[in-house]
Homo-oligomer: A and B are copies of this chain.
Amino acid sequence: MSTQSQVPDPDTTREGRTSPDATPSTALLLDLYELTMADSYLLEGMADDPATFSLFARSLPPGWGYLVAAGLDDCLTWLERLRFSAADLAAVGRLGDFSPAFLDWLGQLRFQGRVRAVPEGTIVFPGEPILELDGPLGIAQLAETYLLNQVTLQTGLATEAARCRHAAMGRPVVDFALRRAPGVDAGMKVSRCSRLVGLAGTSNVAGADLYGLPASGTMAHSFVQAHDDELTAFRRFAAAFREKTLLLVDTYDTSRGLDNAIQVAKEMRQQGVELHGIRIDSGDLAELSRMARRRLDEAGFPSLIIFVSGGLDEHRIHQLLAQESAPIDGFGVGTTLGAAGGVPTLETVYKLVLHGDRPVRKTSTGKETWPGAKQVHRRSDWSGDLLCLAAERPPEPGAHPLVEAVMAGGRRTKAGRRTLSAAHLHFEGQWDQLPPDLKRLQAPPPYPVTPSADLKRLTEVVDLTLAAAAP
C-alpha cells in the first residue's frame, strides 16, 4: 500500500489529519442544503422574511414515557456566535456553486432573532415544542442542523440518565460512559446530562471539571494484572487511597477476589482505616452480590459497600433490585448512558410553521405537522397538556405555560442565562411531580397532549388554503 511521507503540518492539511482539539468551524456545522436554500431565498428576495421554526420530537422511543428537554444552552451559544469567517466563506465557495452576492450576505449575517423554549430539565412529550426560533427565513434555516444535533443528543441522553436514576431506586448511579460514548462531544454531554438529572457522579475527569459533578473511579483489571498477585495489588492500592478504596474483585475469580478484599479490609482496620467497598464488573451480579454481602457481613464489614458495573442498563438495574433483591449499593453505567439506551435516535424535527404571517404545515404521509408558533399549557395535576398557539390566552385556569423567551434580539434573556445548577433544580421539581406511571421503564401509559380548539381551527384553514392553491 502506498504511503505519503511528505505530509504538511498536521493542523493545516485538509486531507483528514485531525486533532481532538481542532474543532471544526462552528458556522460550517450545517447541511449543504441549508446554504442552497438560503441562496435561493436571497435571490428571491425572501431571505429576510420573518419565519418561525418549531423543534419537537415526533414520537417517543418504545418503552419511554416522557422526555427530559436538554441541549438549549449549546443551541443559544451557537446562535450567539454564528458568523462565517473568511476561511469559512472560502470553504463554502469551494464546496458549492454559490453566487458572490450570497457569499457576501453570508459573511455579514448575525443572528438577531428570538428563541422561545422550555427550560432545560423540563419534562416534555411528543409534538410539544422544545424550542422555537423566530428570525429571518434565511438565517433560521441555517440553524436547523446544529439545533437538531444538540437537542436530539442531549434530550436523549438526559432522558436515558433519568430512566437509570429511576431504576436505581435512590441508589447512586455513576456515569462510566466516556470510553463507550460515540465520540468526545457525546462523552462530555453524558456528564452534562447526568448533572442535569441528578446522577451521583462521573468517571469523566473533563466532564466532572466542566459540569461540576463529583469525579468517581478507582481501579481497573489491568491494575490487578500489573501486580504479581491480586492480594498485593489490593494492599498497594489501599495504601495509596485508604478510606476511599474500592477494590475490583473479579479480575481472576470473584470468590477468591472477595477473600483478598476481606483480608485487606481486616489489615486496614488494624490500622484504623475502613475499606470503602468492592466492585464487581462481570458474572451474575445478583448471585455474586448476595454472596459478597453475606461474607462481608460475616467478616464484620456490614457497612462496606457493593458497587456493580458491566453492561448495565435501566432494565437490568430494575431487575437486580426489584426482582432479584440484590444487595447492591451503587451502579456504574457506561454504554447505555452514552448511547441513550441503544434506542434509535430520537426522531426530532425542525419544521417551518410560520412564514411572514402565513401559518404553514407539512402534510407528507406520516409526517404531518401543526402550523403556527406554539405554547404548551400543563395542568398542575399532570392530567394532560394543551398544545396551543403562542398568541392564545391561557385556555384553562390552573394550567401554566412551559415555553418562555430565552433569546431576544440575538441576546439571551434572563431565562436564557440559567446555569446548569439551576436547570438541575428545575428538573428536580418536575421529577417530583411526574406521575409514577409515566416513569415506568416499560409500557408507560400515553400522556394526553390535546391540541386547542384554535390550533385545530387554524390547521383546517391551512389545509383549505393548500387545497385551493393546488394546480
Q: Is the CB of B345 within 8 A of A16?
A: no
Q: Does A59 contact B (CB under 8 A)?
A: no
A364 to B217, CA, bound (A): 20
Q: Does A236 contact B (CB under 8 A)?
A: yes
A212 to B94, CA, bound (A): 11
Of residues A180, A208, A244, which shows the largest number of chain B Cβ atoms within 10 Å of its Cβ?
A180
> Out of B17, B179, B211, B241, which one reaches A144, CB within 8 Å?
B179
A222 to B355, CA, bound (A): 10
How far in angstroms is the closest Cβ of chain B from A132? 14
Q: Does A19 contact B (CB under 8 A)?
A: yes
A259 to B253, CA, bound (A): 70
Q: Is the CB of B77 within 8 A of A18?
A: yes
Q: Is the CB of B4 within 8 A of A209?
A: no
- Flag the segment in A296-304, A321-329, A334-342 that touches B: A334-342
> Out of B259, B283, B423, which one reaches A471, CB within 8 Å?
B259
Q: Is the CB of B206 within 8 A of A29?
A: yes
Q: Is the CB of B152 within 8 A of A24?
A: no
Q: Which of A13-32 contact B (CB under 8 A)?
A: 13-21, 23-26, 28-32
Q: Is the CB of A184 within 8 A of B24?
A: yes
Q: Does A380 contact B (CB under 8 A)?
A: no
Q: Is the CB of A184 within 8 A of B185?
A: yes
Q: Is the CB of A40 within 8 A of B223?
A: yes
Which residues of chain B are within 8 angstroms of A417 by Cβ–Cβ distance? 3-5, 7
A228 to B205, CA, bound (A): 53
Q: Is the CB of A251 within 8 A of B362?
A: yes
Which residues of chain B are within 8 angstroms of A423 by Cβ–Cβ distance? 16
Q: Is the CB of A215 within 8 A of B96?
A: yes
Which residues of chain B are within 8 angstroms of A452 by Cβ–Cβ distance? none
How far in angstroms is the closest Cβ of chain B from A344? 5
A335's closest neighbor in chain B, by CB? B345
Question: Given contacts A205-B31, A208-B32, is CB(A51)–CB(B226) below 8 Å?
Answer: yes
Q: Which of A253-283 contact B (CB under 8 A)?
A: 253-254, 256, 259-260, 281-283
Which residues of chain B are within 8 angstroms of A3 by Cβ–Cβ distance? 414-415, 417-418, 422
Q: Does A64 contact B (CB under 8 A)?
A: no
Q: Does A46 contact B (CB under 8 A)?
A: yes
Q: Does A183 contact B (CB under 8 A)?
A: yes
Q: Does A391 contact B (CB under 8 A)?
A: no
A20 to B344, CA, bound (A): 24
A26 to B219, CA, bound (A): 22
A19 to B205, CA, bound (A): 18
A41's closest neighbor in chain B, by CB? B226
Q: Does A176 contact B (CB under 8 A)?
A: yes
Interface flags, A197-228, vs B, CB<8A=1, else 0: 00000011111111110111111111101101
Which residues of chain B are within 8 angstroms of A381 by Cβ–Cβ distance? none
Q: Is the CB of A225 within 8 A of B355?
A: yes
Question: Given contacts A32-B216, A95-B205, A228-B469, is CB(A421)–CB(B183) below 8 Å?
Answer: no
Q: Is the CB of A226 within 8 A of B418?
A: no
Q: Does A192 contact B (CB under 8 A)?
A: yes
A184's closest neighbor in chain B, by CB? B185
Q: Does A181 contact B (CB under 8 A)?
A: yes
Q: Does A135 contact B (CB under 8 A)?
A: no
A210's closest neighbor in chain B, by CB? B24
How far in angstroms is the closest Cβ of chain B from A71? 10
Interface flags, A56-90, vs B, CB<8A=1, else 0: 00000000000000000110011001000000000
A25 to B74, CA, bound (A): 18
Q: Is the CB of B221 within 8 A of A362?
A: yes
Interface flags, A339-377, vs B, CB<8A=1, else 0: 110111100000110010000111111110000000000
Q: Does A49 contact B (CB under 8 A)?
A: yes
Which residues of chain B are within 8 angstroms of A208 by Cβ–Cβ distance? 32, 95
Further 19 A-B residue pairs, CB within 8 A, beyond A14-B212, A229-B471, A335-B344: A5-B417, A18-B188, A20-B23, A21-B23, A32-B205, A36-B241, A95-B208, A150-B183, A152-B180, A183-B183, A183-B184, A225-B355, A225-B360, A229-B470, A252-B363, A260-B471, A282-B365, A339-B345, A342-B342
Q: 23 A–B contact pairs at CB < 8 A? A: A4-B421, A14-B210, A15-B212, A15-B419, A16-B192, A16-B421, A25-B206, A28-B209, A29-B205, A32-B205, A34-B220, A36-B241, A51-B226, A141-B220, A149-B184, A152-B179, A152-B180, A153-B183, A156-B182, A185-B186, A229-B471, A259-B471, A282-B367
